[in-house]
Amino acid sequence: MAAVSSRAERVWHPIAIVLIIIATLISLAPILWIASTAFKPRAVATSVPPTVIFQPETTAFVKLFTKRVQLKEQPTKEVYDAAPWWEQRIYDGGERVLRVRGNVQLSQYPNRFINSLIVATISTVLAVGMGTFTAYGFSRFRIGGQDDLLFFILSTRMLPPIVVAIPMFLMYRTFGLTDTHIGLIILYTAFNLSFAVWLMKGFMDEIPKEYEEAALVDGYTRMQAFFKIVLPQATTGIAATAVFSFITAWNEYAFALILTNRRAQTAPPFIPSQIGSGIVDWTAIAAGTFLFLLPVAIFTFLLRNHLLRGVTFGAIRK
């Protein structure tokens, strides 16, 4: 923008660029360190001085997806040679892959990852769906005490989650919702709904109501006008809201820790639990972390324009 094109700015500009580069590097370094550790051989993962250049390998991912046990004695040469390459890597690391009836036993990681996908996806669809309808309602109809209601909806977002964790736990126990997908989906929908209403209302207000009125004159019903005229106009808002809701649900930790155990547990409380049995295996943790962060990183990147708009929009509206 360079609003002030003074002499000071001309001196300042190159310094600013250098600072931006430094800030970006600092900001990315931890993430790059995680990613690189996922591909490191275990022996150099915690070496001093830290290893930056190494032969990348995928052993950590094999570990992440399999159940293993420590070797007590080395495998015979025949056994070793007959094993597929990835199993050989596990042997090299002093471990062996567990098998039941000849089948490799998988770790819980894929299961937890899929749980995260199920819970985050469905709760996002619900929150954004309900939020869009409600936002339209607030945007287009006269409602008694509208501002109070909107504030009420927003205020439910301000509660520290841990405050409602205790009654939630008791309610879920009564209704048998602990450790179920539905339980988490409801919870995350409730988290995101207030936010979705508030964000979507901002976008709805931006859509000129003249479009709908024209459609009504053309013989559309109000519902048809909503689906055919308003919704297509609101896609940017829906996308931004969806991404934020998804990220919130995808990253949530405290409730998943308390309310889920095995069937519905999501990845965030699970990944820290895979720190290895006798000693920390940082490469496997890094692999689990890397895969878990990947969808969000890709999302952020693909939808960056929506995101920028979504955040600022919501904030200005408030």
Partner 1 sequence: MTVIATLDPQSKAAARGWSDLTIRNAFILPTLAFLIIFNIFPLIYSLGLSFTEFRASLQKPPEFVGLQNYRELLNDPGIWDNFRITALYVIVSVGGQMLVGFGLALLLNRKFPLKGLVTTLLLLPMMLSPAVVGLFWKLLYDPSWGPINYALGLGKFEWLSHPTNALFATALTDIWMWSPFVMLLSLAGLSAVPKHLYEAAEIDRAGSWYTFTRITLPLVMPLLMIALIFRTMEAFKTFDLPFVMSTASVETVAIRLYQMAFQSWDTGMSSALAYIVLIVVLAITNIYVKYLNKAKER
Partner 2 sequence: MKTKLTGLLAGTAMFALSATSAMAEDLVIFWAEWDPANYLQELVNDYTEETGVSVTVETTPWPDFQTKTFAELNARGDAYDMVVGDSQWLGAASTGGHYVDLTEWYAQHGVKDIMTPATVTYYAEYPKGSGTYWSVPLEGDANGWAYRKDWFEDPAEMAAFKEKYGYDLGVPKDFNQLIDIAEFFHRPDDNRYGVALYTQTAYDAMAMGVEQTIFTWGGDLGDYATNQVDGILNSPQNVEALEAYRKLYTFTPPNWTQAFFLENNQAFTEGLVALNMNYFAFFPALANSAINPHAANTGYFANPPGPNGDHHAALGGQGVSIIEYSRNKDEAFKFLEWFIRDDVQKKWAELGGYTAHAGTLSSPEFLNATPYNKAFAESMEIVKDFWANPQFADMLFQMNDRLHPYITTGEGSAKESLDALAEDWNKTLGNN
What is the footprint of partner 1 within residues 150-209 (CB under 8 A)? 152-153, 156, 158-171, 173, 186-187, 189-190, 193-194, 197, 205, 209
Token digits of residue 76: 């015979």
Residues 254-273 that bind partner 2 (CB under 8 A): 257-258, 261-263, 272-273
Least Cβ distance, residue 262 to partner 2 (angstroms): 4
Name the region of 180 (left: φ>0; alpha: ψ -120 to 50; beta: rest).
beta
Alpha helix (H) residue ranges in 141-234: 146-155, 161-175, 181-206, 209-217, 222-225, 231-233
Q: Which stretch binds partner 2 (CB under 8 A): 101-109, 209-217, 220-228, 244-252?
A: 101-109
Q: What is the DSSP letter of 105?
A: P
Task: Tell me the closest approach of the beta carbon of residue 40 to partner 2, in angstroms.
Answer: 15
2: left (phi over 0), alpha (psi -120 to 50) or beta: left
Smaller CB separation from partner 2, 9 or 92: 92
CB-based contacts of 226, cutoff 8 Å, min separation 6: 136, 212
Judged by CB under 8 A, the residue of 60, 64, 122, 267 near partner 2 is 122
**Residue given tokens 């600022």 in the structure block:** 312
CB 118 within 8 A of CB 181: yes
- Distance (Å) of CA 100 to CA 106, 217, 269: 10, 68, 27
> Residue 98: which of partner 2, partner 1, none does it interact with, CB under 5 to 8 A by kind?
partner 2
Q: What is the DSSP letter of 106?
A: B
Residues 155 to 214 in contact with partner 2, rule: CB under 8 A = 169, 172-173, 178-179, 181
- Within 18-47, the residues that bind partner 2 by CB under 8 A are 46
Q: How far apart are CA 134 and CA 114, in angstroms?
A: 30
Q: Residues 83 to 122: which contact partner 1 by CB under 8 A?
A: none
Smallest separation (angstroms) from partner 2 to the CB of 100: 5
| Cβ atoms of residues 287 and 38 within 8 Å | yes
Q: Which residues on neighbouring strands pair with residue 106, listed in sequence order?
A: 66
**At closest approach, how far in Å is the CB of 236 from partner 1?**
16
- Candidates 53, 100, 223, 279; binder of partner 1 (CB under 8 A) is 223
Residue 92 interacting entry, from partner 2, partner 1, none, C-beta within 5 to 8 Å by type: partner 2
Neighbour-count burial of 184, counting CB atoms closer than 10 A to its CB (0-12 exposed, 13-18 middle, 19+ buried): buried
* Residue 236 in contact with partner 1, rule: CB under 8 A: no
Find the binder of partner 2 among 35, 44, 83, 117 (CB under 8 A).
117
Query: In whole angstroms, how close is the CB of 139 to partner 1 at the nearest point?
Result: 6
CB of 282 to partner 1, least distance (A): 6
